[in-house]
Structure 1
């Protein structure tokens, strides 16, 4: 019997994890807090010679706490409200001895109704025991416990894939036909990835596309398009499988908005996932959001023009990331979506996920 009953079916609202305020009500208060924080730091260092050890430590702790409060309030106050609706996470992984039940708790806390989980090589998970995840058995078991919340991807970030071991093809065929998986992926290709030598022209990748097409499964692809020397091969693979739904991870491989418009016009079944949007270290690289996680103008215009073609995902992997970092990632996604029109935000946040990865 499924455990999805009662509150499991109705994740908590965003208000359960954040104190939400309107920016125009806190702007003046932020200035005062900044001034107090600065003065406190100056006092600490100026009078360091006469402070007792305990007093100094306490003042530093107070200063740090004020800094955290200022940072949090500044984030909320910088350019728009957070998107308040449901989020569907279209891109996450399992690895590192994690307990899958904790994922459900975090989903409830952050008003995430459903999640796509893809295993990675040497993943070890725990749903009552800790065993190597080599056949997706544990994920299938987990999905059966929460059929409305969990989607599983047939993960290709595994050693047989990277070594192009053709002997995995029968297993992939069997798993794709099982009905347990909603897509094949994440499938990592070269695309400038020095440690990922698989080119889009590889026979194994072509076979993966044929299997996906036969079973009407989308394929999630990780390939850095911009500047890669094998981008043409990937587009040829798209053209040869025009009936196939392709989700191109990470802003369509870090493509620029104008290039994505061209790709959308040529490939009507192509979608971009916005995984890595919440990652601060990728902001300069992608240009999709500013430092406050607001969509930059060109990206906002693109998404508003094609709201049916984007999905969001936290793209977290280890047991250490599924905690405060997951909440941070979902909050940043909400910040970006809050700048879109309500209709566009809703489609990107959840409706596209349920249309492409339907449980039917």
Structure 2
């Protein structure tokens, strides 16, 4: 797809969202705090989104969705810095070890990634390292091991898009790490609960985990997970392509609907308090 075609498609999506009853800009009451605030712990603002969506408009969309915080990373890091400068009260920055999207598949064996991460850490403040993709024995490779060491030196949360094996290896490398498990590893709730029992410093984001809810009803196995670990889950949209930005408002509304079926304290915990505590250190 050409850049001009992608740009036209993206703006058409945004226009449709703005006109929809569930559209991003169709809920002025959100900005006034009428709905429960949310903290989105899985947002990307990568180079292609930056080209299509100015930072001020991106921030306006996040605020219109009623977000009180957003954990943001980007490929490359410029997008994160633009959003953090535009809305320091809203954006919690993390450093993604990708210069371009192509690094997703190759970063674990690319020594220049270490140089890139060290340079960015020397220039800016971050709360997390990630979201990075890491599976199984890849965690034993020199580049991921060095990045875990850097995260330890800088006190960063590890935001890992990983299987169970890699998460276990991350904790073996750094037992005191705080790990945010992207998409809860796409594991079944029984496996997620077992991991949470084993690792008190593991949290799970629910990005793309729509299978935990049937409409507004939560699957019983997930409800049991939320009951046992109500302080260890956070929500996330995952804007991994520019087009995903147009669903941020809709995702927030759908999140509020299924959260409303939980006890109020649970809903607030998963909706925003857990992320606030983990990412901002605010209890």
Aligned to 1:220: 159
Equivalent pair of 1:99/1:319 in contact (CA under 8 Å) = no
Q: Name the structure where helix makes up a greater proportion of residues.
A: 2
Deviation for aligned residue 1:261 = 2.2
Relative contact order, higher structure (CA 8 A, sep 6+): 2
User: Helix, strand or coil for the counterpart of 1:308?
Assistant: coil
Aligned to 1:334: 256
| Alpha-carbon distance between aligned partners in 1 of 2:281 and 2:259, rounded to the nearest angstrom | 25
| Alpha-carbon distance between aligned partners in 1 of 2:104 and 2:186, rounded to the nearest angstrom | 23
1:274-293, aligned counterparts within 5 Å? 274-278=206-210, 283=211, 288-290=212-214, 292-293=215-216
Aligned to 2:275: 353
Aligned to 1:118: 73
1:106-185, aligned counterparts within 5 Å? 106-120=61-75, 134=76, 136-157=77-98, 158=100, 159-160=102-103, 162-163=105-106, 164-185=109-130
CA distance 1:212–1:13, change in 2 (3 Å) = farther
1:59-74, aligned counterparts within 5 Å? none
Deviation by residue 1:217-248 (Cα, 9 ceiling, x = unmatched): 001011244xxxxx2x5413313311110001
Aligned to 2:224: 301
> In the alignment, is residue 262 of structure 1 matched against residue 203 of structure 2?
no
Q: Which has the larger radius of gyration?
A: 1
The two structures, once aligned, show a CA RMSD in angstroms of 2.6
Match of 2:241 among 314, 318, 321: 318
| Alpha-carbon distance between aligned partners in 2 of 1:201 and 1:162, rounded to the nearest angstrom | 16
In structure 2, stretches of 5+ residues that fail to align are: 1-24
> In the alignment, is residue 87 of structure 1 matched against residue 38 of structure 2?
yes
Deviation for aligned residue 1:137 = 3.5
| Alpha-carbon distance between aligned partners in 1 of 2:202 and 2:238, rounded to the nearest angstrom | 19
CA distance 1:356–1:341, change in 2 (3 Å) = same
Equivalent pair of 2:97/2:116 in contact (CA under 8 Å) = no
Deviation by residue 1:28-50 (Cα, 9 ceiling, x = unmatched): xxxxxxxxxxxxxxxxxxxxxxx
User: Helix, strand or coil for the counterpart of 2:255?
Assistant: helix
Deviation for aligned residue 1:154 = 0.7
CA distance 1:92–1:138, change in 2 (3 Å) = closer
Q: How many residues align?
A: 247
In structure 1, stretches of 5+ residues that fail to align are: 1-11, 18-82, 121-133, 192-197, 226-230
| Alpha-carbon distance between aligned partners in 1 of 2:124 and 2:217, rounded to the nearest angstrom | 38
Deviation for aligned residue 1:344 = 1.1
User: Helix, strand or coil for the counterpart of 1:271?
Assistant: strand
Aligned to 2:133: 188
> In the alignment, is residue 246 of structure 1 matched against residue 179 of structure 2?
yes
Equivalent pair of 2:71/2:92 in contact (CA under 8 Å) = yes
